[in-house]
Structure 1
């Protein structure tokens, strides 16, 4: 198969060539996941401890659907914005402030299990705000990161997601356990407020020209009409990202079957293995800059295959602590490296004029793929067992890696 050529560099070049705003982007990306980590990891544990049923807890899990749906309103952020305050900065000022207020609105729910309905409504508002903030932050990254900085930028983004999850799903839960609901919520709000301070100090380069309304919404489909995009976004990415997500869906259930307590599973999968993954993000980004996208894609695929093999004892029912932590850490590091490449190429393919829409649309594909394959992997495991299911989905990833390397070599991106 011959891959189509990549988009012209002139179409994907950033609008500024100065030093990237690392402090701004890092704090924005971390604070996205501080709140999300608390809602999807910490709050679930708190509500379960209060006796909330698993069926009711599924309401909280549904909140994550706002993330893939954000592409429906992403064109608004490309179309409208303040020239005086900065096009995307004006959105960030409003959204980051609203995120702080939404978190503070959680304060009255000091007995969260007793008011689940209203609590979920407030959480839903926060998730919508956070998802929209992600569009604005990623649009800035596409516009302001030079091509040679995109690998590191996306490495920082992936690493920041783990840091935010540890802070929100780990630290804030610890504060709740020691000092109560009010202290935990105030800590969440304070961490989110840090990013608002950074946004206030940031001065965004002028964005010109302004995107016509028809072009903003047309970008949802138009990005797939560009040379090279369909093969990468609809072929390579679902295989690479979806296959890895399929394997990663299996360990949690296998750990329960192996006799681990929910507390141990939560600490190991939510905190311990997140530390090497957080460090792997920037490292993978640096390697993308030094070795190129194809080399890191190959390395991530090989590492994922080796770490999947390391998970076989767990998948067979034996889960010694040290070996399991090492295998899970290795897998998450490999998964992170693949994630960095997928996001970096998505940024390469995004146009500065419709950066928020393009990048959001392209990164929604792996998100949807991960949801679908995680479910399919568990269904496959029910039919053929954990090991065969893991081998199948790891194979899917490796097929995607081979196709991805051929695509990148035929259509080199700078």
Structure 2
């Protein structure tokens, strides 16, 4: 079998499939499950709690990063043991949800099981990103990063539209079983491909650690923390952190608001919302990811991020100010697809910028810190949406429009994060 370092096809396929596996739980929870609960009468406070608990484990990425860098079974590779563990646990926690009695009545239990499940999804994400750092060549990082994010949206489509259709026709438990089976199937890829030649395929197989020069001793966790603190003495790194947080508040509001707004205000069924948001909505996300990577190579990341921000702002203003547009048969669809496209556009460009802002000695941990901040902001956004529920959806959409503009000053004060995305950019870890 080819190794990940020795075969571009093997590493690209593995990374893309792992990213699709991360997208499935996200699409399932934030699209299929939330729309189902909204259709059963859940309010914005309930959907905000689910989306917050689904997002909270992604803030743990800051802690996963140093742990993964420091501890591993090196004879099986630096990252594979963590990926295998996380992928297996993702499947097991899904199957455990079947044991919950009345899934809609036992809301608290369901919410915390969603939290536990996403703890392992976030672990898989960090380990997969770290694997990308290790095995991708500088010349392919831009293109493969776009493919990975597009694959994430493909997974979101499966988890959202696919599982939403299963829920509508067969119920929640069959959806849990089917998704667990798919995640177990994906587990075979990291089981089959070694990172480097000579390593063990499984713990009981023959082989030994095959380390690159400089990898013989992993840095201590204390050393990584000190290095991270040193990296954030630079203003571009600080501004990048402010941008990472402020750019994601509106995204968090959107996740919490959309299922309730579309099912209880627009009049869509929960199945229709799941199929549109998870189906053609995910297709819009894939297009945004691919186009975002292409344009970032040519226009620079700041220009692409600005396009995405202005697009989201314009759509939110239109939805907030125009009663006619809110009840029209076409604009709700345009809003849903347009915001997804613009979020994907700015996300991929933002990834490239964060990679360039990272200090080489702590690149993986620093990048993870940026991603953790973005996820904290999504939780904040969901809380803001729940707080504004009594103010009405006009106010919610206008606040979303204002919030998405906040990161622009931080963006244009950053020096060193713009330019083409290819050639030496760090992948996430």
TM value normalised by structure 1: 0.79
Deviates more, 1:308-317 or 1:88-97: 308-317
Q: 1:352 to 1:171 in 2, by over 3 A?
A: farther
Which residue of 1 is the match for residue 57 of structure 2?
66
Which residue of 2 is the match for residue 35 of structure 1?
25
Q: Residues of 2 paired with 1:182 and 1:386: CA distance? A: 34
Q: Residues of 2 paired with 1:220 and 1:411: CA distance? A: 25
Whether contact under 8 Å (1:240, 1:399) holds in the other structure is: no
Which residue of 1 is the match for residue 179 of structure 2?
188
Which residue of 2 is the match for residue 275 of structure 1?
283
Q: Residues of 2 paired with 1:154 and 1:160: CA distance? A: 10
Which residue of 2 is the match for residue 237 of structure 1?
244
Q: 1:396 to 1:164 in 2, by over 3 A?
A: same
Matched, 1:167 2:177: no
Whether contact under 8 Å (1:97, 1:193) holds in the other structure is: yes
Q: Residues of 1 paired with 2:167 and 2:248: CA distance? A: 34
Q: 1:316 to 1:377 in 2, by over 3 A?
A: farther
Q: Residues of 1 paired with 2:178 and 2:102: CA distance? A: 17
Matched, 1:408 2:425: no
Q: Residues of 1 paired with 2:254 and 2:345: CA distance? A: 15
Matched, 1:338 2:346: yes
1:12-35 alpha-carbon deviations (Å, 9 max, x no partner): xxx979737221111111112212
- How do 1:212-223 residues align onto structure 2 when only pairs under 5 Å count? 212-213=219-220, 214-223=222-231
Which residue of 2 is the match for residue 210 of structure 1?
217
Q: Residues of 1 paired with 2:256 and 2:118: CA distance? A: 23
Q: Aligned-pair distance for 1:363?
A: 1.0
Matched, 1:365 2:373: yes
Which residue of 2 is the match for residue 393 of structure 1?
403
Whether contact under 8 Å (2:48, 2:383) holds in the other structure is: no
Whether contact under 8 Å (1:237, 1:366) holds in the other structure is: yes
Uncovered stretches (5+) of structure 2, i.e. residues with no partner: 197-210, 424-429
Whether contact under 8 Å (2:354, 2:417) holds in the other structure is: no
Q: 1:45 to 1:325 in 2, by over 3 A?
A: closer
1:74-118 alpha-carbon deviations (Å, 9 max, x no partner): 311110112210011111122212222222333434743465565
Query: SS of the counterpart of 1:321?
Result: coil
Which residue of 2 is the match for residue 98 of structure 1?
89
Q: 1:40 to 1:393 in 2, by over 3 A?
A: closer
Q: Aligned-pair distance for 1:160?
A: 3.1
Whether contact under 8 Å (2:32, 2:163) holds in the other structure is: yes
Q: 1:252 to 1:125 in 2, by over 3 A?
A: closer
Q: 1:356 to 1:391 in 2, by over 3 A?
A: closer
Query: SS of the counterpart of 2:86?
Result: helix
Q: Aligned-pair distance for 1:308?
A: 4.4
TM value normalised by structure 2: 0.76
Q: 1:41 to 1:73 in 2, by over 3 A?
A: same
Number of residue-to-residue matches in the alignment: 398
Q: Residues of 1 paired with 2:65 and 2:299: CA distance? A: 33
Deviates more, 1:323-332 or 1:292-301: 292-301
Whether contact under 8 Å (1:281, 1:336) holds in the other structure is: yes
Query: SS of the counterpart of 2:74?
Result: coil
Whether contact under 8 Å (2:244, 2:370) holds in the other structure is: no
Uncovered stretches (5+) of structure 1, i.e. residues with no partner: 1-14
